[in-house]
Amino acid sequence: MLEPPRNHAGLGGEVSEMRDAADEAMAAYQRGEGAAFDRLVALAGPALFRFLSYRAGERSLAEDLYQETWLKVHNARHTWRPGEPVRPWIYGIARHAFADHLRARARHLRRVEAVREWSDIGAAATRPGEPGALDEKISASQQLSQATAELPAAQAEALFLLKVEGLSVQEAAAIAGTSPGALKVRAHRAYAKVRAHLQASEEPLE
């Protein structure tokens, strides 16, 4: 049984290097190197658990989905195509696992609670004085939960993938199951709504 990561804060400038290493680990695992699976989990696990925590809204469910996703990754490892980024591929499997859960349990997940957890994740994703300073203000704002809770689910997901996870538009679109253009529109609308909400609340924005 895989232990979900306890510390899943943002990775900052290490993200690109870790993506490359994760791709290499997946390629090695696909070739039959058993130890490569542990490397893959160590590299991709924290981001995967963040993603599942956001979607699930509760840690216990996220932990179950985390285990199920890695089992599915193992069973479907032959379908990954070397040369393609592995993280969007893993996220796609996680999305299907989550959809299977929704169909099986047929109940509404507490999305607002997941968005509240986003505040802590987002605050760690950027630092003052860097280009993402505005994103930090949004993530750390006391108004974030209310602002994002009012967003359509697709817009909230787009904002999370781009601003918190730091994915490229192409990667986020693949995970969301839409085109890059449509994903950019969703994120733009979501970002504008959050900004407007904070401005209405007299939050200082730079």
CATH, residue 101: 1.10.1740.10
**90 lies in some domain:** yes
| Unique residue bearing structure tokens 């070397």 | 82
For residues 53 and 111, the model is more confident at: 53
Is the pLDDT score of 124 beyond 50?
no
What does the pLDDT look like over 53-89, one tens digit per residue? 888 888 888 899 999 999 999 999 999 998 888 989 9
Is the pLDDT score of 191 beyond 80?
yes
17 shares a domain with 101: yes
The tally of domains found in the chain comes to 2
Contact criterion met (CB below 8 Å) for 188 and 137:
no
Is the pLDDT score of 108 beyond 70?
no
| Boundary of a domain, candidates 62, 86, 105 | 105
pLDDT-derived band at 155, boundaries 50, 70, 90: confident
**4 lies in some domain:** no
**205 lies in some domain:** no
**101 lies in some domain:** yes
Q: What's the start-to-end Cα distance of the chain, in Å?
A: 46
For a pLDDT cut of 90, what percent of the chain falls above it? 25
182 shares a domain with 129: yes
Q: What is the DSSP string of 28-55?
A: HHHTT-THHHHHHHHHHHHHHHHHHHHH
Return the amino acid letter for 122.
G
76 shares a domain with 139: no
Domain that holds residue 86: 12-105
Rounded mean pLDDT, 117-130:
47
Q: How far apart are CA 37 and CA 86, in angstroms?
A: 13
**3 lies in some domain:** no
101 shares a domain with 118: no
Cα separations in angstroms, 98 against 46, 52, 58, 88, 114:
17, 8, 13, 15, 14
pLDDT for residue 12: 41
What CATH number is associated with residue 178? 1.10.10.10
What does the pLDDT look like over 20-45, one tens digit per residue? 888 999 999 999 888 899 999 999 99
**180 lies in some domain:** yes
pLDDT-derived band at 167, boundaries 50, 70, 90: confident
Q: How far apart are CA 171 and CA 201, in angstroms?
A: 33
Q: How far apart are CA 163 and CA 168, in angstroms?
A: 10
pLDDT for residue 10: 43
87 shares a domain with 115: no
**97 lies in some domain:** yes
pLDDT-derived band at 129, boundaries 50, 70, 90: very low
Which bin fits 90, alpha (ψ -120 to 50), beta or left (φ > 0)?
A: alpha
Is the pLDDT score of 170 beyond 60?
yes
| Boundary of a domain, candidates 48, 75, 105 | 105
| Boundary of a domain, candidates 105, 139, 162 | 105
116 shares a domain with 74: no
Q: How far apart are CA 22 and CA 17, in angstroms?
A: 9
Phi, psi of 3 (to 5 degrees): -90, 120
Is the pLDDT score of 106 beyond 80?
no
